[in-house]
């Protein structure tokens, strides 16, 4: 208990003053025809950089080397009206693995349908107390980005201390509950689909799924962060986390968070279990091919 207390104190003392995110934001518009002045998208990109990287998203302080590396790729798919755009957003985030130069992905997700209004040089702001704002279409993009920032923060915090991301997952759910409502805005409601912002926040805040947060912690802190010290023990802890994830998936089929967690994990897991003992490798294959169906061929090809 004393060691755990000291670890928590050390962790908090490192997060002192800097802003939390070190984000790269890119706005692309290859599908927009040449009659549109694409300078507007450069302006939007610069304003989003300012919003994400210069705003304090938590009450904690972070040293510059503690900032969370993340990327936002906003791809303008079409012009849906005057100053109205339809886009997809790819969000990626990672956290460093202790005592190594490897960054492990925590978020890798593509939100396929974002409708928003943007007039060049208009303020790009997010108000947590007034998520929808006076113009829902103008507020939708920043609401979506703030939502995923809280998911990134929740995943990062959960990966260091059990359930310490709860506050940020709840903030993401609050954004859902107060989200912009307008014709053709989607992704915020249960009936908009099975894999959207509503279900992601619902899964992360549903107390029925509390075990999932323990799995996140076990995978990163008790698994990946221990490889420098004892590779076999670290791999065992990862395998134990995967056993629990499989059991969670069987008890709660079709939850969005399992798919969300497994997104982009295949190369990382293959790299870890290539050196596993044959029995552990077989056990891992039995587990992972039941929860990461999209990558079954990769696992079988690399690990059989």
pLDDT digits (tens, 9 = 90+) for 226-263: 999 999 999 999 999 999 999 999 999 999 999 999 99
Instruction: Give the pLDDT score at 52.
Output: 96
Instruction: Give the pLDDT score at 270.
Output: 96
pLDDT at 8 over 90: no
Instruction: Give the pLDDT score at 231.
Output: 95
Instruction: Give the pLDDT score at 17.
Output: 47
> How far does Cα 2 stand from its chain's mean position?
32
- Longest CA–CA span in the chain (Å) reads 65
Distances (CA, A) of 207 to 100, 169, 210, 213, 291: 34, 12, 5, 10, 21
CA gap 107, 188 in Å, rounded: 19
Banded pLDDT at 37 (limits 50, 70, 90): confident
Instruction: Give the pLDDT score at 18.
Output: 62
Mean local confidence (pLDDT), 80-106: 95
Instruction: Give the pLDDT score at 61.
Output: 85
Banded pLDDT at 304 (limits 50, 70, 90): confident
What is the chain's mean pLDDT, rounded? 92
pLDDT at 205 over 90: yes
Banded pLDDT at 44 (limits 50, 70, 90): very high
pLDDT at 45 over 70: yes
CA gap 280, 267 in Å, rounded: 17
* Better pLDDT: 66 or 162: 162
Instruction: Give the pLDDT score at 56.
Output: 92
CB-neighbour burial class of residue 230 (10 A; exposed 0-12, middle 13-18, buried 19+): exposed
In angstroms, the first-to-last Cα distance of the chain is 41
Banded pLDDT at 180 (limits 50, 70, 90): very high
256-291 confidence digits (pLDDT tens): 999 999 998 999 999 999 999 999 999 999 999 999
Instruction: Give the pLDDT score at 63.
Output: 81
Mean local confidence (pLDDT), 90-108: 96
Sign of dihedral through CA atoms 91, 96, 97, 102? positive
pLDDT at 107 over 90: yes
Instruction: Give the pLDDT score at 279.
Output: 95
Instruction: Give the pLDDT score at 264.
Output: 86
CA gap 196, 213 in Å, rounded: 19
Instruction: Give the pLDDT score at 36.
Output: 81
């Amino acid at each position: 208990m004393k060691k755990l207390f000291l670890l928590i104190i050390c962790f908090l003392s490192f997060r002192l003053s800097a802003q939390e995110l070190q984000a790269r934001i890119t706005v692309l518009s290859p599908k927009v025809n040449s009659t549109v002045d694409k300078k507007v998208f450069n302006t939007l990109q610069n304003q989003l950089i300012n919003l994400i990287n210069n705003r304090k998203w938590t009450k904690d302080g972070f040293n510059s080397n503690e900032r969370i590396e993340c990327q936002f790729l906003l791809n303008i798919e079409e012009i849906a009206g005057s100053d109205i755009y339809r886009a997809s957003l790819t969000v990626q985030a990672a956290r460093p693995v202790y005592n190594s130069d490897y960054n492990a992905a925590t978020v890798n997700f593509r939100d396929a349908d974002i409708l928003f209004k943007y007039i060049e040089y208009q303020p790009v702001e997010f108000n947590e107390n007034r998520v929808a704002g006076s113009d829902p279409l103008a507020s939708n993009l920043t609401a979506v980005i703030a939502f995923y920032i809280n998911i990134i923060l929740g995943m990062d915090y959960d990966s260091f201390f059990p359930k310490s991301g709860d506050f940020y997952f709840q903030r993401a759910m609050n954004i859902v509950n107060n989200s912009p409502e307008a014709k053709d805005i989607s992704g915020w409601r249960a009936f908009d689909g099975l894999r959207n912002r509503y279900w992601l926040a619902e899964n992360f805040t549903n107390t029925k799924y509390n075990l999932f947060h323990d799995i996140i912690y076990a995978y990163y802190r008790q698994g990946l962060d221990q490889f420098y010290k004892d590779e076999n023990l670290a791999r065992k802890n990862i395998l134990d986390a995967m056993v629990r994830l499989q059991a969670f998936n069987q008890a709660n089929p079709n939850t969005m968070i399992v798919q969300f967690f497994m997104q982009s994990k295949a190369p990382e897991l293959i790299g870890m279990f290539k050196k596993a003992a044959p029995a552990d490798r077989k056990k891992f294959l039995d587990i992972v091919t039941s929860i990461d169906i999209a990558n079954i061929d990769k696992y079988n090809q690399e690990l059989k």
